[in-house]
Amino acid sequence: MATRALVNARVLVDDGFRDDLAVLLDDGGDIAALVPASQARTQADEIDDLAGGWLAPGFIDAQVNGGGGVLFNNDTSVEAIAAIGRAHRRFGTTGFLPTLISDDAEVMARAIGATRAAIAAGVPGVLGVHLEGPYIAPARKGTHDAGKFRVPDAAEVAMATSLDNGITLITLAPEQVPLATIRAMAARGAIVVAGHTAASYEQARAGLEAGLRGFTHLYNAMSPLQGREPGAVGAALEDRDSWCGVIVDGVHVHPGSLRVALAAKPRGKLFLVTDAMPMVGSDDPAFALYGEVITAVDGVVRNAAGALAGSALDMATAVRNCVRLLGLPLDEAARMASTYPADFLGLGGRCGRIAAGLQADLVLLDESLAVRSTWIAGVREDVA
């Protein structure tokens, strides 16, 4: 007997949304079964009527620099990670990687330690850590501080890959780091991806062969695709095995370029990220990074030099943008925010789908595609 049945929703399963299913949850935080809606009342102790909303797997964001007024670089604590998670949960994110922008080794070690402690303490949603730099290219630095850039030695590789209870995602420039180092990071269990890179096509291909699994915010801060020099973008679009994160905010990448990527990559290899900064879930449009005040104006986040400095994007808005800007059906947009990032992170057997045996990480959207409720490990939280 399941403890709870979620009924009267359009449920996203592998073949699309279904309105004839009930989702049964057990008391351990997992999905017990999907059953015909007519059987729900005989299968569960309690019934939750979801009023005809869209029920999708909870969103998973692999690139979250901050939220709720907190920037991870400025506060590498368990409390900061929890605050970031709370802020993004309001927008459907039930799993995330707190992301550290290029910084000193001491800050990196603190960030990894805080992530380890947050996971051990059961902070809702935290899946691991994303180290975005500092092993990146000055020519494609964006808002990163080039004074932090370096090539890691063996001791730093060991530190950067030391998280033992969650995922480690590392963004680096393959032309800046020896291929042996990429291999070593991958051998230690890290997911290594290319980003903030000026790599030639050949250098990007060599990185893929050494163990790169994908590309951070495709098109942004990387060598572009040109007729005689395909660059990192060309290597990313050509390679059928690699994953690409994309920022669908209408600012970072033109919708036409995103449609090209959707056409080029196999289905499931393009997934949504926010690259979110502290103003997501906060009323304050400004924050400090490397001692510089950065402000969002009309939803666009730039530093004083005019470079894009992350985003003010939340995952629910990214999903809506996929529908409204790219013309994607809602089921595919939702998969780009849940199923595909789960697969990229190696978590497809735990989350990212609504199926029996998976963790009950869910998001309920209304007719306007605004978030109404989320579940993390079966625990519901409604958006006020």
Question: Tokens in use for 75?
Answer: 């506060």
Q: Which amino acid is at 372?
A: R
* Helix H or strand E segment including 122: none
Q: Give the CA diameter of the chain.
A: 65
Triad 328, 330, 331: Cα angle to 5°: 105
Query: Which sign does the torsion angle of CA 233, 235, 238, 239 carry?
Result: negative
Question: Tokens in use for 234?
Answer: 């060309």
Helix and strand tally (H, E) in the chain?
A: 11, 21
Write the secondary structure of 198-259 as one string of H (helix), E (strand) and C (coil).
Answer: CCCHHHHHHHHHHCCCEECCCCCCECCCCCCCCHHHHHHHHCCCCEEEECCCCCCCCHHHHH
Is residue 298 among the annotated active site residues? Answer: no
Which of 382, 373, 338 is closest to 127 using CA atoms?
A: 338
Q: Which of 26, 239, 249, 275 is catalytic?
A: 275
What are the catalytic residues? Answer: 275
